[in-house]
Each structure stands twice: as C-alpha cells, then as structure tokens.
Amino acid sequence: MILLKKYKWTWILLALCIIMAGYLLWGAWSKPKLPVIRPVESFSLENVDGKNVTLEDTNGKVRLFYFFFSKCNDVCPLTTFRLSQVQDELKKKGLFAKDATIVSISFDPERDTREQIKSFGDKFGADYSGWYFLRGDQQKVMDLAMNSFKILINQDQTGNFVHMDLIGLVDRDGQLREIYRPEVTATEIAQGVVDLSKE
C-alpha cells in the first residue's frame, strides 16, 4: 500500500502507456476495409496461349488490372516493371497464382498480336501461371477501361495513344476496390493485395 502511494504517478503513467499501446494495436488490427467502388464489367479476351479468358474465369482471386500497349515507350514499360516487382513480392508471400493474379490488357490489338504481347511479358519475367496478357476488340477494351476503371484511352490520327497510367485492385468477387497511381510503390501495391486477400 505504501509503495502504491509512493509511486502513484508512476503507476498512472504505466497504466496510460498500456492503454495507449492497446489502442494502437487494436487500430492496426482493425484496419478499415477498402470501400467497393464499382463492379467490373464482364469481358472475354484472348490470352497469349490463344484461349479466351473471362472476368468470371479469374473470380475467386484478388486481381490487379492494367491497360497497356506494347509499343509504348513511356509509362507502360515502367508500370509493367513495377507489376513484375509486385509479382515477385506476392510469390515470396505464397499468394501469386493461388490467391492473386495480374491482368494486363492491351488496347492495341492491331499491333499487339499474341506473339507480340508474349514477347513484351517475357521482357519483364512474367509468370503466365498467374499473369494474364490479354487482347481483344479495341473499342470493347476501351469501354471496359472507362466503364469499370474510369481509365481514359485516346488514339490520335497517327495511331499514337494517350492513356491514364493507373492500376486497378479488384477483389475476389469482381468489385473494384482501389486505384493505384504511378507514385505508389510495388511494396505498397503488394500489401494492398495481401490485405484484400484476407477479407
């Protein structure tokens, strides 16, 4: 009792520290879920092996969507490289192909043949067991990008493209949950996939 009175303020401070630590741990564990932005429209596109892949084929896994064209000499190679880093991080965590996939969709089907986009993917060490490189009707792909992800793609009269450089994070049920901008690192994107895979 004497000790309690003598060190009253020490005990109070210690109790406050324990309460604060508990609060911080609870906040870390109860991280708020990402809101559902909108459902991704269904699609059917051709993979590098000539097989059609639909949105429903990839359901049940967390997915990263990226719209690109292989002749791009600006942002597409940089972002595809970042996705290759995400692929490597997800492999280390045992999620890649099993619980998470990457879906890269070309909007330049005239030049992006199956062979061309496979060659593009090979440059970045794509593991095709969990990374789809898809192609299909240009207008349908542009509509998918705009309607589902609000990604604008324009082609000028010379055939050059201007497009938004964004990556969409989609949950197991085909709902868009996050849009990643170019400044977001591969580690942050991989962590977003990990967090979503736990829901």
What is the percentage of the chain residues whose pLDDT exceeds 90?
A: 79
15 has a pLDDT exceeding 90? no
In the predicted structure, residue 13 carries a pLDDT above the cut 90: no
Kindly list the distances between the CA atom of residue 1 and the CA atoms of 5, 8, 13, 140, 175, in Å, as whole numbers in the listed order.
6, 10, 18, 78, 60
pLDDT at 31: 63
**Of 25-29, 56-60, 72-76, 132-136, where does mean pLDDT reach its minimum?**
25-29
> Is the pLDDT score of 109 beyond 70?
yes
Mean pLDDT of 41-46: 98
